[in-house]
Amino acid sequence: MKLPHLAGVILIGAATSMGLFVSCASDAKKVNGKTKTTAAGDSTVTEVEDLRKPVDTAKYDALLKKLANGDTTGKWPVKKQPYPLAGAILPFKRIVVYYGNLHSKKMGALGEYAPKEMWRRLDAEVKHWEKVDPSTPVQPGLHYIAAVASGTPGRDGKYINRMANSQIDSVLAIAKMRPNTIVFLDLQVALSNIKAELPHIEKYLQLPFVHLGIDPEFSMKDGSLPGKKIGTYDAADINYVSQYLADLVKKYNLPPKVFTIHRFTKKMVTNYQNIKLRPEVQIVMHMDGWGEPELKKGTYRHFIYSEPVQFTGFKLFYKNDLKKAPNKLMTPEDLMKLKPIPIYIQYQ
């Protein structure tokens, strides 16, 4: 089945930026039993709930059953998964994010619009989800591509363009425009590898509101140039990353990290059955393909539903999803009919 998809490869050099590259090197500290994150030179303080109560396991199980949406195959909800640590976002809230890169208006809504306009649009999506599923609170977020697969080799010959800390700080500053917003940092490793790239963003992953995404499409293990073919990650790679995140959670006493993995073909994730689940990490297999609604539903059914890991996500492309008849963007009402119901929604 042909799966159309928007490649994320861009050339970054003298690209036009949004101009909001404010330095906001952050740190976290304990204040009255709560974790507070402060921005240097900024009086704004974002409080992150420090939930010490253990997860309500009965509620957790009930919400997983709700997300399974009547599935009778036994695939969903996923069995024998560990209960998460206190402070877990999923499945208690639905994450709704805007995706993109500040250097490019073509990679997503986060970067296409100035911050105030971006937030106006994302707020509208959040309200739509709250209306369609009022029983599930919405957790807004920004999903930023912190390492971009590039069309040029760069200094190290890895075809990767790592965003400077000042760029990431700018995203954190934009996130602070709305209280309690979370941030995802996404890695397209190109000819590098995930073990080499994680340390570049570790200081941000130490923050309680920063989570992680990885994109197998641009993990070019065979040396192919990114964008020429679709890359891959194995369960072993995913397990390495989840252990890395789990170690940070334990070391810095953090709430569980949400870990998203993009997917729209079978070979993008191999040996899914060997992926390990941990109390410190919540894994989202994210349907990242674009196209008309029936094609997207088929992709979700074949590569997300049929190979269950833990939680599921679904991406909506404001432009590419409209290219073919019926020229219709899927709605929250449409997504609520899926099995399982996605708990992470990404708009590009």
Residue 77 sits in a domain whose CATH number is 3.20.20
Instruction: Calculate the alpha carbon distances from 176 to 37, 47, 88, 114, 145 in Å.
Output: 10, 10, 20, 15, 18
Q: How far is CA 331 from the centre of its chain?
A: 19
CA angle 6, 140, 317 (to 5 degrees): 20
Query: How confident is the model at residue 16, as a pLDDT?
Result: 27
Residue 262 lies in a domain: yes
Query: How confident is the model at residue 263, as a pLDDT?
Result: 96
Q: Which residues contact 183 (CB under 8 A, 6 or more apart)?
A: 141, 142, 143, 144, 171, 172, 175, 204, 209, 210, 211
Query: How confident is the model at residue 13, as a pLDDT?
Result: 30
Residue 42 lies in a domain: no
Query: Higher pLDDT residue, 197 or 34?
Result: 197
Residue 272 lies in a domain: yes
Alpha-carbon distance of 246 to 238, in angstroms, equals: 12
Strands 160-162 and 138-149: antiparallel
Alpha-carbon distance of 94 to 97, in angstroms, equals: 10
What share of the chain has pLDDT > 70, as a percent?
Answer: 85
The pTM for the full model equals 0.85
Query: Higher pLDDT residue, 179 or 53?
Result: 179
Query: How confident is the model at residue 104, as a pLDDT?
Result: 86
Query: How confident is the model at residue 29, as a pLDDT?
Result: 40
The pLDDT confidence band at residue 6, using thresholds 50, 70 and 90, is very low
Query: Would you say residue 42 has pLDDT above 80?
Result: no
Residue 277 lies in a domain: yes
Residue 248 lies in a domain: yes
3-state secondary structure string, the chain? CCCCCCCCCECCCCCCCCCCCCCCCEEEEEECCEEEEEECCCCCEEEECCCCCCCCHHHHHHHHHHHHCCCCCCCCCCCCCCCCCCCCCCCCCEEEEEEEECCECCCCHHHHECHHHHHHHHHHHHHHHHHHCCCCCEEEEEEEEEEEEECCCCCCCCCEEECCHHHHHHHHHHHCCCCCCEEEEEECCECCCHHHHHHHHHHHHCCCCEEEEECHHHECCCCCCECCECCCEEHHHHHHHHHHHHHHHHHHCCCCEEEEEEECCCCCEECHHHCCCECCEEEEEEECCCCCHHHHHHHHHHHHHCCCCCEEEEEECCCHHHCCCCCCCCCHHHHCCCCCCCCEEEEC
Query: How confident is the model at residue 52, as a pLDDT?
Result: 65
Query: How confident is the model at residue 41, as a pLDDT?
Result: 33
Query: Would you say residue 50 has pLDDT above 90?
Result: no
Query: Would you say residue 8 has pLDDT above 80?
Result: no
Query: How confident is the model at residue 91, as a pLDDT?
Result: 98
Residue 5 lies in a domain: no
Alpha-carbon distance of 109 to 79, in angstroms, equals: 36
Residue 77 lies in a domain: yes
What is the domain count for the chain?
1
Q: Kindly state the average pLDDT of the residues 242-268.
A: 97
**Residue 264 structural domain:** 56-347
Q: Kindly state the average pLDDT of the residues 272-301.
A: 96
The pLDDT confidence band at residue 53, using thresholds 50, 70 and 90, is confident
Residue 130 lies in a domain: yes
